[in-house]
Structure 1
Amino acid sequence: MALDDVCVLIPTFNEAPTIGSVVDGFIDQGYTNVLVIDGGSTDDTQAVAAAHGARVIEQRRSGKGQAVREGLEYIDTEYIVLVDGDSTYDPADADQLLEPLFEGRADHVIGNRLVQLDDEAMSRLNRFGNQLINSAFTMIHGRDFGDILSGYRAFARDSLDQLQLSADGFTIETELAVASVKHQIPTAVVPIEYTPRPSESETNLDPIRDGGRIIHALYSMARRNNPLFYFGSVGGLSILFGISIGAFVGYDWFIHHVSHEALAVVSAFAILLGVQLFMFGVLSDMVIAVNREHTRQVQALATQLQEESSDTTEETSETPEGTQTIDAGN
């Protein structure tokens, strides 16, 4: 494993009590290229990180997602390890995160915290939220990544350049997972250790507020990745609502001989709207499937042309010096 080809990227905000030990941990493991992207901490995070041997850059704008995007501007290595600065992740696990990348089995590796989770590392509310979000991701996007909210990941730099990230805050992990499915990035999952956050360090994550944002982001991203679910779910609810209203109208008409013309119109409209949304989802899904197949074919053709060009270059370089083409007519 060529650790010189790896940059450890650590987004931070007020992590002074822990960032020093995190940087030391990676340097002790042989990862000397450590980049801290700080979101304008009001404590000594930047000074502590620099004193322990990290490069420190202050973000132009706040947010973890913004930190990841800005960090890429300062990284020129082939591989990137992304990790939180709160000392809940073990630097020794970086080797197994990078192994699938070095072996060519994946371009994106997610560290699964939930396999070896310390009993005190995560509250019951957070565990339930993680399970709910992971189940929603699997249902909506059709892949089981085990722990899409993990803050410990490794990437091949080229794969990150394909993703076109836009999330600013804690939804960045969700966007990374969804974008990997959308762009068919080979993704592996490895178990990692997750330990309790040190008592002197305060979390920047609000379980309710940020959990709601993540669920909303999951559903919103389905519009471009799984439109059948996105439009079909709304259409299904509309049809169910229309049928419920229609059942009430029918019951009142046959039992009490009371007519509800307005409700009947609402029922019919809801059912028609639901059917139209469902059909729109089916058509959108077909369009996306065709587009993905065309993209796959173009990428395969580009790879083939690149290989042929490389072979031609090698053959040209092997031609003996001094060889001349002789015109038979002269």
Structure 2
Amino acid sequence: MASLDDVTVLVPTYDEAETIGQVVDDFREAGFDDVLVVEGGSADGTDDVAAEHGARVVYQTGSGKGQAVREGVREYVDREYVLMLDGDATYRADDAEAMLEPLFEGEAEHVIGDRFADMREGAMTRFNRVGNRLINRGFAYVHGEEFGDILSGYRAFTRESFGRMTLSSDGFGIETEMAVECAKRGIRTAVVPITYLPRPSGSDTNLRPIRDGGIIFLELYRRAKTNNPLFYFGSLGVLSTITGLVIAVYVAVEWITVSVSHEVLAVVSGFGIIVGVQLLMFGVLADLILTLHRDTLRKIDEETESG
């Protein structure tokens, strides 16, 4: 039976000196003996504070949260399970047991902590709440999975399932990327309600809502290319076709009403419509190929298990 001795607590940090000591203390008191702090070049002594409180501190070679997570898991974790969280004291050690239970029971390979289940006052601005809701709905529509809170930084996963993911994001898009990979690769995922606390006074957030929100939306759309090609190419095709049709209507109206011809615009219109239709057709074909590929992989897995 798995226990806390099989878990590494992974905390990527950048200028978290005000809170990292409390985070390390909370998880060590909860019974975790391996708290790994991946330091991202802080200028406020985050590494010294973490080490003083008993954390194992390593220094990432690159920059950004995504790079810290990838490097931390792949190079410094040798235990079977990883409990990942931010170093800003917004996540509770009291929720760790619930996060790990689906892994220990073999019910899931990846667990997401749902912050909206118990979000304390002041933990998130109204603007950020709206943005989070939009991103979650967009993810469910594009990738066909409802994970509740894909931007949550509180995660638990097996090291084996993490190794099956193809991750490249360097910044805050890492959570979105992991959620997409879970949906794409059929990694069994559970959603657990957690409490989300406001940041303690005196600590500053590294999140930039508009910039990071834009990066996340682009990541969702970019990843749809291989997970939902009909949406990816179809949306481009519809946009191109509609643009071509609007230009065509304008050219026709101008020709009929004032006898002015727009040869160049007519060519652009035709080009837009043709490209749009081709993209739609390509999206349908790509979606068919992806469906056949998934069916083939499922049959191979079934035969392997039965054999």
CA-CA distance at 1:239 after TM superposition: 0.9
Cα drift, residue 66 of structure 1: 0.9
Query: Which residue number corresponds to residue 6 of structure 2?
Result: 5
* Partner residue in 1 for 2:190: 188
| Distance in 2 separating the partners of 1:60 and 1:281 | 39
TM norm structure 2: 0.95
Give percent identity, aligned residues only.
57
CA distance in 2, matches of 1:219, 1:111: 23
Residue 282 of structure 2 is matched in structure 1 by 280
In the TM superposition, residue 294 of structure 1 has moved relative to its aligned partner by: 2.1
After TM superposition, the structure 1 = structure 2 runs for residues 95-174 of structure 1, keeping only pairs within 5 Å, are: 95-174=97-176
Once the two structures are superposed, the pairs formed by residues 205-284 of structure 1 within 5 Å of their partners are: 205-284=207-286
Tell me the amino acid that sits aligned with residue 65 of structure 1: G
Query: In the aligned structure 2, how far is the partner of 1:207 from the partner of 1:263?
Result: 39
* Bigger Rg over Cα: 1
Structure 1 unaligned regions, length at least 5: 306-330
1:288 Cα offset (Å): 1.5
> 1:52 is matched with which residue?
53
Aligned to 1:179: 181
Q: 2:303 aligns with which of 301, 304, 312?
A: 301
| Pairwise CA distance, 1:263 | 2.2
Number of residue pairs matched by the alignment: 305
SS in 2 for 1:169: coil
RMSD: 1.4
- Equivalent residue of 1:7, what SS? strand
Q: Partners in 2 of 1:257 and 1:139 — Cα distance?
A: 46
Normalised TM-score (structure 1): 0.89
Instruction: Look up the SS of the partner of 1:163 in the other structure.
Output: coil
Whole-Å separation in 2 of the counterparts to 1:91 and 1:67:
21
The CA distance in 2 between the partners of 1:304 and 1:32, in whole Å, is 39
Report the alpha carbon displacement of residue 297 of structure 1 after superposing the two structures with TM. 2.7
Aligned AA for 2:280? F
Specify the code of the residue in structure 1 equivalent to 2:166. Answer: Q
Please, which runs of 5 or more residues in structure 2 have no aligned partner? none
Aligned ranges for residues 8-27 of structure 1 at < 5 Å?
A: 8-27=9-28
Letter of the structure 1 residue corresponding to residue 265 of structure 2: L
